[in-house]
């Protein structure tokens, strides 16, 4: 996979990915080689050691998932997911709400009538 594609997929800046890949290369988990089609680009791949580590991590994640959610039914999980999705959507407008609350708080502090100043 091209390094730029990996950065987009993971959702981090290229420079941050380079630092992370440097550490993973030093640990022997990944390798970077020049792309034969474009020598400026790098191809990133797992080493044998990296594939083994990935399988071990996946097994640990599955076991943790099972321990954490083993008693949660599919419908409970789906409901939770819907609620969290709604919170996430609401979070998008949080800055707008914060601005409105600050403005409302400012006018209340100035003595205008409102529910929080005893009027």
Dig out the tokens for 76 from the structure. 């409970």
The DSSP bridge partners found for residue 30 are 46
Three-class SS state of 38: strand
Q: Quote the DSSP letter at residue 17.
A: H
Q: Quote the DSSP letter at residue 92.
A: T
Q: pLDDT for 67-111, tens place per residue? A: 988 888 989 989 999 999 988 887 766 666 676 777 776 655 555
Q: For residues 34 and 111, what is the distance between their CA atoms, to the nearest angstrom?
A: 67
Q: pLDDT for 27-56, tens place per residue? A: 999 999 999 999 899 999 999 999 999 999
Q: Model-level pTM greater than 0.75?
A: no
- Residue 87: per-residue pLDDT: 86
């Amino acid at each position: 996979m091209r390094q730029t594609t990996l950065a987009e997929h993971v959702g981090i800046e290229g420079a941050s990915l380079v630092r992370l890949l440097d550490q993973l290369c030093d640990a022997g988990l990944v390798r970077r080689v020049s792309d034969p089609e474009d020598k400026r680009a790098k191809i990133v791949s797992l080493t044998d050691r990296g594939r083994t580590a990935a399988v071990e991590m996946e097994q640990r994640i599955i076991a943790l998932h099972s321990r954490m959610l083993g008693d949660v039914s599919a419908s409970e999980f789906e409901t939770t997911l819907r609620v969290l999705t709604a919170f996430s959507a609401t979070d998008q407008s949080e800055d707008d709400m914060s601005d409105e609350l600050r403005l409302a708080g400012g006018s209340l502090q100035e003595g205008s009538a409102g529910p929080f100043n005893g009027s």
